[in-house]
Chains A and B, each alone.
Chain A
């Protein structure tokens, strides 16, 4: 019997995950590229006592085609950089975790690591990083440095995906070494000797890999959380399913279609060898919440001209129905859920108000935030720097 409260996160993307969501009354889609719009969403999620929000991002324009842009004008197009958006939410929130998406495929690991470390500083310990890879030729063409074959939905290029995931694991390793490269007590402000830092507590990371080498140390002091949370969405499509999250992440988002599927996925995730804290398994669900949920979804499908499809299971129902389903999947080993609101703000409110109340009635959700940091909310300890040596012990 699983006890304790569920972890809940919400995945923010534009006006919601339904392509016609921006057309709903109350959507305020013209404000999509303003800070005010996103601050309202984060505020709603925080009032609901959710663990964290993730923010979607990609190096390509949204499209209904696998690799090319389409010419549709009736769906949301355009996004802000997720890390910077998360940073602008930090002073406007106090407790909720902020987990932006940042790609590893075309970026500098050093810049990404320092960006996430800075997000942790400006949020005083609430940062995470949703690691994403970029398997599309169109995204590679935006950088012009690397050739990646055009994405073919009929042919899954497992070798390419494995390579991109391996590079992502290297980028995460670099980030963690950089975050650790300042020991917690590196800043000493010793007036007598004139030293601002104890240089022996700043460390070169000397990472040397297939795609990049990074010397270090970080330019940003150690983040408040020690190591910000790393999360990965994984559909189990590589030769060794879930290897990247098992090796590199603190949280994996998985996409089971039903309870039996959830149990199978949990079993496969747990089968991958891993050092350290057990990987936290969250299930992604695309949800429409409320007494009118099914009707709203049907209306949006009609506006878009197609039934909604998603890699995540789609659930439309009342808050109580959804709460019962989450608790049922918890029995299969799912520890938390990342909910994708079908339409914003209706389904975000449905999650943050209706669902949390329903879960509290079942004794399965918090009444108040119990920690100031995201690691604390997730029950993860703050790790010591790997470079710190115990007092009296030689390095």
Chain B
């Protein structure tokens, strides 16, 4: 294990100022420390931002601002989150274990890295970890990997549940960095792999997430549902965050985000387009799901995700329809 320097930042600005080559920000450490133990991440320097005063959840003008350092347990338990964004609370609670949620931070959750077994094993090739080394998952173990938005270079999935809910809620990610402050709307934070799977997000070197801002809850009913082979602590085979607004039997609004299917939380825009303005019937839900999944490029061992995602979309919308 490589030696590294550890410092604790006093403020966000402080953290950004001190960022240099080989530096990484450390939040709750629930993923980064694992990756360091595995030799996947080898920072020269860790800047601890987990204890910055960015741990408040505040309401302002109908929006909810969640500090980057808010712990997942606190996020899920917050009365405003529970009452106004129950889908978000449910997504967070479906991830990891109580112990991990007590440590994991909001920003860290968004920036966690894929659990693709090749990525996690430094003795095997992986384009994401070592650009240009190849992607053995495409021919090998891709059971839990992506079916949508994949490239010849990478079929990894983004593992976060929180990010899927935020993609459906159209949250804004507030970032400060060497280039100044900016706002990145979800789901635009995460990238598809393309030719550069080593880049998970659109963030630049030294960028630090300071908060996630939730717009007022969209009208309609919402639900987060996660499918996994055991009842506890497992990454999603497929998950869904859905919001459905039905008026007089017609879909007035709909948002669907899928987890476990792509390199990023996957907004099912094609399905949404098919649905909005049409009837809220099981048949319409199925047509919409199939319109989205026409784009799926499953591999031999993860072809099950196509019917699974289809079923989940249909069933979740049926449950949300009045």
Bound pair (A, B): no
